[in-house]
Each structure stands twice: as structure tokens, then as C-alpha cells.
Amino acid sequence: MLDRVFVTSPFLSERLLFTPATPQADAIPLIFAFPNEYSVGITALGYQVVWATLAARSDLEVARLFTDIHESLPSEPELLGFSMSWELDYVNILGLLESLDIPIWSRERSNHPIVFGGGPVLTANPEPYADFFDVFLLGDGEILLDAFINAYQEVRYADRETQLKHLAQVPGIYVPSLYEVTYKSLDGEIAAIKPIDSSIPAQVQKQTYRGNTLSASTVVTERAAWENIFMVEVVRSCPEMCRFCLASYLTLPFRVADVETSLIPAIEQGLKVTDRLGLLGASVTQHPEFESLLDHLNQPQFDQVRLSLSSVRTNTVTEKLTQTLVKHDARSITIAVESGSDRVRQMINKKLTSDEIVQAAINAKAGGLSALKLYGMVGIPGEESEDLDQTVAMMRSLKKAVPGLKLTLGCSTFVPKSHTPFQWFGVNSQSEKRLQFLQKQLRSQGIDFRPESYNWSVIQALLSRGDRRLSRLLELVRNYGDSLGSYRRAFKELKGQLPDMSDYVFERWELDRVLPWSHLQGALPQTTLEKHLASSLSIAA
């Protein structure tokens, strides 16, 4: 059992924005964990909101657990939940299970808590982690959490098999052990994914909350990675639907928080305990009433508020927006352009012109910002070397158009994501050379170029498109030290027992292939994803 605690607990600095319930006598003992340090986990808005939702129920007794600290834990928890935001945090999940004397393999658990998980990683593709969890919650917590707890209450004192079969009847709750995966060969493709009997749903549908009251921080603390920040979700999903984008496709439809009844009341509550405000969402400035929200924040009583935005659509970067950000202590703004090539942006459905990118930079400087950060990507399906030349040309044009404005281009490698039109593509093996080309060309021009690790992008792709055979590999990788070399070593040891890494990462899959997540239904059916893919390919041709 875990026994590490801080002498000076971070929990003491927390300012709660909700009222936890007093647990009733027969409350279910539940541990809610984040598989990383406290400062990281408490900054995750999703973790905060789920914790508050659980802690507000009197039929639960909730204790929080992080890798470096924990609250007083129950000796016999019935439920153990994980919120997973980053693929590689699986290592910490296994470590926390062992520290609690819980077998890492679900098949070895008997009189142990039911281990459940949720969050963006597990909703997108839970299969690489399927053998470590008893239950996955696929979709939005506003719908799933109460349904899950209520269903568990109904079978609380039943045997484990009965509990799991009952939970599997709840929409959005996926019990992987109740589905049998067969393969064409040990190291071949998936042949079929079927429930073990007719009482189990053949497909699990991701659950989508469709209200206009979105999430807001439930706790503010100086120990968060973003110190003392109050976060409010302005929009959920993104209407642009870039063909590679999990944040858009998985979370559709695009939803906005009501300004008068949701956003402003939440903001005013948060600013009673802090002067730092974060507006979150995949495309914050596309809220239809964003201008009125800016007007509200420009009132004199908010002059001391420090404001940050998680994302800004390029053609919404107005001088008014940048002036507001500067007034509220911001120095830079970040836009995603993906490529300097008009053709590539058309292929991925990025509705953005080069002129709009230049105008955004001009507006950023005119509004008083000192820096502009851009996000790009290499290896996008259909990309050619000429497209990279256009990215270099775009950055040079920006430097000429806005002298004195610091320009930074962060650049990642395309990674295929489930439930998107580009899920059938693999990583472009030339991506590392393309990153090196951009680095050589741009740094010589005095432009700050920051490439993400190509090798770790390969691992991300492995986990993004992996099936449940990877669980054995992940256990080996952890035991070998969780390094890049550990993955190669583990694949070598398991040769013949699962496909080669190249099949998961680099190969382009056929449209009729059974995908690891074929039994898990996202926001759009496969037929729609295929149409979007065909539209992209018609431009690339």
C-alpha cells in the first residue's frame, strides 16, 4: 500500500469552488487517480470536474491519488478510477496498481476493486490498455459518471462477473473482457471482435453531452502547473474538422457555453479566488459570442486579471483580441497553421489562406504582442517536398511582414488517430528528414524552430493504432525501463506473437480492415469518415 505523503501537503493550498458531500454510513469507498504528479493532474480540467462530480455524491467516499501524493486511502476500496490524458502515462498506472497491491492484469483480480478509466486517450482507443482495466467510460462525464455509479449500486454486493455484465448494459460503458478478439494469425490482422454472448452489446457508443453549460475549474491552487489558474471551457470540439484531428472528430458536435447563463457566472465565481483566467477549448475564438465575452472582460473591474487562451483560430486574430490579451498580461498568441502550402491545407480541410496567416501576424504585432507561436506538421498524407518549401517561404514572408515580432514554429509529425478520416494512414517514414530540412532552413533565417521528437511520435502512433496484443508489449517495455530502445527490445522478444511495429505505425491500412476500435462507435460512422477521406484524396491527386 502507498505510504508516501508530503510533510507540507499541496492539498492545504487548495481553494475549492464546490462543496463536497458528507459521505453516508454505507458510502462506496472509491479512489480517483491521476497517473502523474499532483501539479500535472490538478491542472487537468477533466480530472478536476470528475473528482468534484464524484465527491459531490453522498453515496461515495472519494480519495484522490497521484504518483507523488495521496489523500487518506480506504483500506478496501471498491472502485479505482484513472483519468488518462497522455498515452505514456500507462507506466504510472501500472505502478500505482502495484503500489495498491492490485494485480495489473484484470483477469487476475477477484476480491479487488473494479478498475475503471476514462479521458481522451481511453475514449479514442482503449485497446492497448484493455487487459489492465475492468471498465472503460467512453465519452463525456456529464452523462457517464452518474450512470456508472448508479449501475454499480444496483449490483454492489453481487459477484464480479454479474457486476461487469450489468455495467456493460449501460450506454458508453465498455467492459473489454466481455469481448473476444480473434486474429487471422498470431502476428496477423484482427479477424473479428465479438461479444462473448448475446446479452452484451455488439457495439459500444461513445456518449455525448449536448448541453450549453460546459466545464469550469472546481479547485484553484498555487501548486498547479499553471499556478492559481481558474479554467473555463468556452467551446467543446471544433467545427473545422481537419482530417487528422482527434480533438474535433472524436468530440463532435461543436458545442458552445452560453455566455450569460454559463460563462460569465463561472468566470465571476472563479475570479473571487484568483486573478488568473484560462479560456479553454479546441477553437475558443470561434464561439459565436466571443466578442461579447471580450467586451465583458474589458470592463475596468477585470483590469488586473491575467488572461490566457488555449487556442485561437488564425482568421479570428483581430487587433481587438490582441489588445485585450496585452491588457491582461499576455505576451504571445498561438495559432495552428499546419503547413505553408495551400494545397496541403485544402487536403486536410484547413480553411485558411496564406494571406490570413500574414494578417494574423500583422494584427498580433499591431495589438502589442511581442511573440507569435505557430504550430505546423510534417508527414501529412499527400505532402510533397515542394510543400515544405512553401512552409519555409511562409515563415520568411511572416518575418518580413512583422519585423521585431518573435516568430516560433513548433512542428510535429503526423500521427494517425482513431475515429478520424486519416486513421487508415501510417506515419510517413520521411518525416524525420523533413523536420531536419525545416530546421536547417528556418534557423539559418533566425526563426525559432522547435520540432517535436520524431521517435516518440512513432511510439504515439503505435499506441494510437494498437490492439490489445500490445498489453504484453507494454508490460515488457515498462520492465525494460520505458525507453525508445525498450520498445524495439520488446518487439524482438515477442516476434511472431503480434504484428511488427511497422504494421501498426507505418502501413496504410485497407478500408475494409477490422480496426482495433471497430466495435467502439465514435461521433461519426465509418461511412462518413470514408467520404471525408475520399474528398481529401481527390485534392491530393
pLDDT, averaged across the chain: 95
Look up residue 508 and give its DSSP letter: P
Q: Is the pLDDT of residue 338 over 90?
A: yes
Note the pLDDT tens digit of each residue in 450-498: 999 999 999 999 999 999 999 999 999 999 998 899 999 999 999 999 9
Mean pLDDT throughout 493-513? Answer: 97
So what's the pLDDT on residue 5? Answer: 39
Q: Is the pLDDT of residue 193 over 90?
A: yes
Q: Is the pLDDT of residue 318 over 60?
A: yes
- Give the containing element (helix H, strand E) for 193: strand 190-195
At 327, give phi and psi (nearest 5°).
-55, -30
Q: Is the pLDDT of residue 311 over 80?
A: no
So what's the pLDDT on residue 442? Answer: 96
Q: Record the pTM.
A: 0.95
Whole-angstrom CA distances from 4 to 16, 70, 123 are: 24, 8, 31
So what's the pLDDT on residue 296? Answer: 94
Least confident stretch, 163-167, 274-278, 309-313, 347-351:
309-313
Strand partners, 135: 116
Look up residue 509 and give its DSSP letter: P
What CA–CA distance (Å, rounded) separates 319 from 360? 9
Note the pLDDT tens digit of each residue in 221-280: 999 999 999 999 999 999 999 999 999 999 999 999 999 999 999 999 999 999 999 999
Q: Is the pLDDT of residue 8 over 60?
A: no
Mean pLDDT throughout 203-214? Answer: 96
Mean pLDDT throughout 519-533? Answer: 97
Strand partners, 30: 62, 79
Q: Is the pLDDT of residue 3 over 50?
A: no
Q: For the chain, how big is the Rg over CA atoms in Å?
A: 24
Whole-angstrom CA distances from 316 to 146, 285, 308, 311, 361 are: 38, 6, 15, 11, 11
Least confident stretch, 156-160, 185-189, 444-448, 490-494:
444-448
Q: Are 271 and 302 in contact (CB under 8 A)?
A: yes
Q: What type of residue is 93? A: I
Q: Are 398 and 445 in contact (CB under 8 A)?
A: no
Residue 9: pLDDT band (50, 70, 90) is low
Percentage of the chain lying above the pLDDT 90 cut: 96
Nearest to 311 by CA among 245, 261, 258: 245
So what's the pLDDT on residue 1? Answer: 42
So what's the pLDDT on residue 4? Answer: 40
* Range of 277-291, 314-328, 502-516 with top mean pLDDT: 502-516
Note the pLDDT tens digit of each residue in 92-149: 999 999 999 999 999 999 999 999 999 999 999 999 999 999 999 999 999 999 999 9
Q: Is the N-terminal amide bond of 253 cis, ω within 30° of 0?
A: yes
So what's the pLDDT on residue 106? Answer: 98
Complete domains list, the chain, with CATH:
10-205 (3.40.50), 228-455 (3.20.20.70)
Note the pLDDT tens digit of each residue in 144-175: 999 999 999 999 999 999 999 999 999 999 99
Q: Is the pLDDT of residue 283 over 90?
A: no
Strand partners, 520: 204
So what's the pLDDT on residue 7? Answer: 37
Q: What type of residue is 146? A: D
Q: Which residues, in sequence order, are CB contacts of 271 under 8 Å at separation 6+?
A: 230, 277, 302, 305
At 490, give phi and psi (nearest 5°).
-70, -40
So what's the pLDDT on residue 11? Answer: 83
What CA–CA distance (Å, rounded) separates 359 from 351? 15
DSSP 205-266: EPB----S---B-SEE-TTSSSTTEEEEE-EES-SS--TT-HHHHTTPSPEE--IIIIIHHH
